[in-house]
Structure formats: C-alpha cells, structure tokens
Amino acid sequence: MTTTETQAGVLPAMADVPAHGLRVAVLGVGMMGADHVARLHSRISGAEVVTVSDASAEKAEQVAAGVPRCRVVGDPLAAIADDGVDAVLVATPGQFHEEQVLACIEHGKPVLCEKPLTMDADSSIAVVRAEDAYTARTGRRLVQVGFMRRFDPEYAQLRALVAEGGLGEPLIVHCAHRNAAVPPHFTSEMMVNDSVVHEVDVARFLLDEEIAAVTVLRPRATRHAVAGQSDPLLVLFETTGGRLVDVEVFVSTGVGYEVRTEVVGEDGSAVIGLDAGLLRTSGGAAGPSRSAGIAPDFRVRFGRAYDVELQRWADAARRGGIDGPGAWDGYAAQAVCAAGVEALRTGRRTEVRLEQR
Ligand SMILES: NC(=O)c1ccc[n+]([C@@H]2O[C@H](COP(=O)([O-])OP(=O)(O)OC[C@H]3O[C@@H](n4cnc5c(N)ncnc54)[C@H](O)[C@@H]3O)[C@@H](O)[C@H]2O)c1
Ligand SMILES: O[C@H]1[C@H](O)[C@@H](O)[C@H](O)[C@@H](O)[C@H]1O
C-alpha cells in the first residue's frame, strides 16, 4: 500500500472548472491563516479570498481590510455553506477542524486543512470515512492536509533520491525539529501532536510505509523549558519495513527554526536543512552573528513550500479535487501521535493502532 496520495486521477472533467477564479473562504486568521490570506492574495494565481471568518471579529475585519472584495462572516459553518465560496482553507485551532472539515465534505467543497486533521485518531478516521462515502458517489476527493514539507524543494529532492534508489535501501532517518520558543501553554503532549506530527508525515512520505511503533525518551530538560514540559524529547519510530526514524524535538532552543532530515541508506546518505553559512548555533540567545542563516520560524523556512502547496491546491480545487496529502495521511499521523502520547506517558514502546485502509 502506498502512503503517498496523488489525486490527479479523481479530478472531474474540465467542464466543471469554474470560469472565475477559485473563491476561497479562510477560517481562522491568526498566525497561519493571516499568512495564507496574504499568500493567496499576492502570490497564488487563479484564486481569491472572498471570505474570512474568525472567532475574533476584530482580527477578521483587520485581515479582510487588506483584501479587496473580501467579506467577514461570523459563523464559519455559514461561510462553508455559502454558494459564493468554492473552496475552504481551515486554519483554526485543531479542536475545530473536525466539525469544519466534515461540513466541507457535506457541502462538496475542497478543503485544505492545516495540520492536525483532527485532534485524535477516532475523529480522523471518521473524516476519512465521510470523504470515502462522498468519493464513492462523485469520484472526487476533497480533503487535503497541510503537511507542507512535502512541497518543500529540499524534501521533494530527498524523496526523489530515495525513491530512485540513489542511497540504496534506506535504513535509518535522523530528524531534528527545533523551535526558538513556544507559548507557555505548549505541553510535552503538544510537542508530539503539533511538532513531531510533521516528522510522522515526513517519515511516511520518504519511506512510503507506515509507522508501527513509537518510543519516547525524556533526556535532561533544558532550564528554558516551559513549566512542566520535558524539552527536548527523543522520539523513535519503527516502520512496518523494519526501518528506524529518530526525532530530536526541542522547542525552546532560543536560537531559531532548525528542521533537518538525514536519510542513511545502504549505499550512502543525504541530509537536508543545513543552512549554508551556519558556523555555530550554540551559546545562548540567538544573536545575528550566531544564528546567521537560520530561519526564525516556519513561515520563513517553509515559505516556498506553502506557496507551492497553495498553488497546487488552488489549481486542483478549481477542478473540484485535491493534490497533496489526503485524509488518510491526516488519520495515519493522528494514529501515530496517539501512540506517541501514550509512549510519552508510560515510558514504554507503544504499537500504533491503524485501521485497515
Ligand atoms: N503547517 C505549519 O507549519 C503550521 C504552523 C503553525 C500552525 N499550524 C496550524 O495552523 C492552525 C492555526 O494555528 P495558528 O498558529 O495560526 O493559531 P492562532 O491561534 O494564531 O490562530 C487561530 C485563529 O483561529 C481563531 N479561531 C479560534 N476558534 C475559531 C473558530 N471556532 N472559528 C473560527 N476561528 C477561530 C482564533 O481567534 C485565531 O485568530 C493550527 O491547526 C496549527 O496546528 C500549522
Ligand atoms: O504548530 C507549529 C507548526 O506546526 C510548526 O511547523 C512546528 O515547527 C511547531 O513546532 C508547531 O508548534
């Protein structure tokens, strides 16, 4: 079974393509949503943001003011149901994704949902099933999950190298995922669910197989850790093909946004995410000379990936489909994270419970 979904085969006939640009509603215009609105408005062709919705009316008004003809709709479900909206981008906090994505399926609207698909594996599989029922009726897929690293040129190159056998059989993947800082409410569970979820998807994307078990180790914590948090963590995935993936997740480095991945194969290894010009990243708070070349956050490091992700999604959505990681990928990531949170709690190796596809 392949874990990489390409949806070109389920796109409808060209007759269904709207003559106008894709009219997008963006739900949640906080850090990511506002960034995506700006991106859709200024860098993505064939799409326009016609509606924004946010729990904070003030924030929504502020963002809408920057986009001609964009209106504010208070109720996100009304924005989804609106006939003047062709597709939806969900960038609300994770706990609202399930209801909003299910509403998109009900109204037959393509949706790009920021990660996580939902907050747990049970609700994610419910989304997979709802979309499957829609696909059985229409031949269309609607749900794309915002695992943007798949659209990053370095990750795409690494996957191509692995897929064409350039490293021989891949055996081990080493990952580092470091954030300069996180808000005070960011728990160790969130380090798994919100941060390591990207490595879950990267591992499935690079190796094209599922993750079978997760172990989480808690090394000595940094004195900068948020109260009650174990930071850093070392997370180990075992894949169904017997490969190992280790992830160092460290969210209070005080330095910058460092995301590295190295694949070690039988015939060589390849690493991405090494910022050219970087000499050292240690020594306390980031100063310009110490962190030269390191992106401050994901909006900078993955800016190009978000551009490609949204352009390809908008192009596919105009034809009524998706082009990227789908609901199953979102579900599989949640199932692995659930095992990760249990492994974090118990200190034991925990097997992933994945439904039959
Ligand atoms: N792909 C990535 O690299 C990446 C990076 C950061 C965040 N994210 C994801 O993007 C999503 C948003 O994260 P963020 O950092 O922008 O959060 P945020 O808190 O900055 O923004 C969320 C916004 O949603 C609004 N909101 C809350 N409940 C709502 C509701 N029911 N309906 C409409 N609006 C509502 C809030 O008022 C806020 O403006 C999360 O799912 C997060 O995991 C992804
Ligand atoms: O929600 C964010 C986001 O997903 C980033 O890409 C990740 O690096 C952060 O650790 C996480 O908190």
Give the C-alpha separation, 54 to 33, whole Å.
9
Q: What is the mean pLDDT of the chain?
A: 90
> What percent of the chain has a predicted confidence (pLDDT) above 90?
85
Which atom of ligand 2 approaches the CA of 249 most closely? 10
Q: Does residue 2 carry a pLDDT above 70?
A: no
Is 165 near ligand 1, meaning CB less than 6 Å away?
no
Ligand 1, residues 26, 31, 151, 257: which to mutate, most atoms within 8 A of Cβ? 31
Distance 101 CA to ligand 2 centre (A): 20
pLDDT band at 286 (very low <50, low <70, confident <90, very high): very low
Specify burial of residue 184 (Cβ count, 10 A radius: 0-12, 13-18, 19+). Answer: exposed
Distance 322 CA to ligand 2 centre (A): 23
Distance 248 CA to ligand 1 centre (A): 24
Give the C-alpha separation, 261 to 200, whole Å.
12
pLDDT of residue 276: 53
pLDDT band at 4 (very low <50, low <70, confident <90, very high): very low
Which atom of ligand 2 approaches the CA of 297 most closely? 8
Is 201 near ligand 1, meaning CB less than 6 Å away?
no
Q: Which-ligand-closest: CA of 305?
A: 1
Using N-to-C axis directions, what is the helix angle for 121-138 and 97-106, rounded to 10°?
A: 10
pLDDT of residue 13: 39
Three-class SS of residue 239? strand
Angle at 325 between CA 319 and CA 327, to 5 degrees: 90
Q: Does residue 321 carry a pLDDT above 50?
A: yes
pLDDT of residue 17: 56
Q: Does residue 290 carry a pLDDT above 60?
A: no
**CB neighbourhood size of 125 (10 A):** 21
Give the domain ranges of the chain. 8-147+305-327, 153-296
pLDDT of residue 326: 98
Give the C-alpha separation, 35 to 218, whole Å.
34
pLDDT of residue 11: 41
Kindly report, residue by residue over 25-72, the tens digit of the pLDDT.
999 999 999 999 999 999 999 999 999 999 999 999 999 999 999 999
Is 152 near ligand 2, meaning CB less than 6 Å away?
no
Distance 187 CA to ligand 1 centre (A): 17
Q: How far is CA 130 from CA 4, 19, 97, 99, 248, in A?
A: 20, 29, 14, 12, 35
Distance 195 CA to ligand 2 centre (A): 5
Is 245 near ligand 1, meaning CB less than 6 Å away?
no
- Global pTM reads 0.90
Kindly report, residue by residue over 86-132, the tens digit of the pLDDT.
999 999 999 999 999 999 999 999 999 999 999 999 999 999 999 99
- Fold held by 8-147+305-327: Rossmann fold (3.40.50)
- Fold held by 153-296: Dihydrodipicolinate Reductase; domain 2 (3.30.360)
Give the C-alpha separation, 289 to 296, whole Å.
14
Kindly report, residue by residue over 228-257, the tens digit of the pLDDT.
899 999 999 999 999 999 999 999 999 999
Domains 8-147+305-327 and 153-296 share a fold: no
Kindly report, residue by residue over 306-319, the tens digit of the pLDDT.
999 999 999 999 99
Which atom of ligand 1 approaches the CA of 59 most closely? 39
Q: What is the ipTM of this complex?
A: 0.98
For residues 221 and 1, the model is more confident at 221
